Amino acid sequence: MLNLLCKWSIDVNDKELKLISEMENDYFNLNSYSYEELCYFKNNENYNLVCLYQKNEFVGYAILFITESEIEIYKIATKKEHRNKGFGTYLINQIKLKYSKLKIFIEVNQNNNAYFFYLKNGFVKYKTRKNYYHDGSDAFLMLFNPIL
């Protein structure tokens, strides 16, 4: 995996916001963020958008909420044709490096294979929200603690 680059909110441009918005609509349907919400995230210091490129190709992104003591990953996604190639792990590792002293949280549907991806990347399940989603499935709350 050569020539990977992460661009953070301060460097994210309008074209990239539109690319993220398209992926949101394609992959997250009813749970997608609108272009306007993405603009808000980009311009708010409590959020960070991360765009991942391989060479000059946009391959994925993450949306983060940041406080003084922790981060919540709102979304992380790679294009379908780039999945299972290490790009998601690269994004997670870049987030861990940039925020090396902060706990990182994420919520994942029990039926989502991403649960195993997060386990593989050092996250642990610390809580279950029963019947959290509209279909009755549970939400797993997961944590990466850099101190452990």
Return the CATH number of the domain spanning residue range 4-144: 3.40.630.30
This prediction's pTM: 0.93
The per-residue pLDDT for 31 is 85
All structural domains of the chain with their residue ranges? 4-144
- As a whole number of angstroms, the distance between CA 66 and CA 141 comes to 17
> Taking residues 3-32, what's their average pLDDT?
91
The number of CA neighbours under 13 Å toward the Cβ of 136 is 0
Q: Is the model's pLDDT at 148 over the cut of 70?
A: no
Give pLDDT, residue 74: 97
**d(Cα 30, Cα 133) in Å, to the nearest integer?**
12
